[in-house]
A = this chain, B = another copy of it.
């Protein structure tokens, strides 16, 4: 199986943590969303964008929809490889696609669509409003890894 490796794809590797397993002896299915999150944070970093910096400036990319297909289970200590691809880029949203592999085996694939929002704090409560992705950010998102 050949994973996509064009310029809109980035790759990370990491090990399954003990605390991510459940009583079936496999990774609990909710944790794959945390893995995908890792994937897009590192995808952005590879293009010079620090998501933590954005968050401090009140720019967020909350998840608005998700799909996930589980094909094979990951287990404790497995060394996984995650391919993250920017699949769609619009003015107010973007979609990342994911393929999680254990060596040559596809474990999970899915996508997350993210909205672009800006945050304001009103009386201690954070409010988030849809806001266009800036031109500077769009340029970075279209670029290859730095």
Residues of A within 8 A of B (CB): 17-19, 21-26, 28-31, 33-34, 37-38, 41, 50-52, 55-58, 60, 62-70, 73, 75-77, 110, 119, 121, 123-126, 128
Contacts of A33 in B (CB 8 A): 19, 29-30, 33
Closest Cβ–Cβ distance, residue A123 to chain B (whole Å): 7
Alpha-carbon gap, A38 to B18, bound state (A): 8
CB distance from A23 to the nearest CB of B (A): 4
Contact of A64 among B34, B58, B63, B70 (CB under 8 A): B70
- Closest Cβ of chain B to A63, distance in Å, is 4
Min CB gap A56→B, angstroms: 4
8 A-B pairs besides A23-B75, A25-B126 with CB distance below 8 A are A17-B38, A18-B22, A19-B22, A19-B37, A23-B25, A25-B125, A52-B77, A65-B67
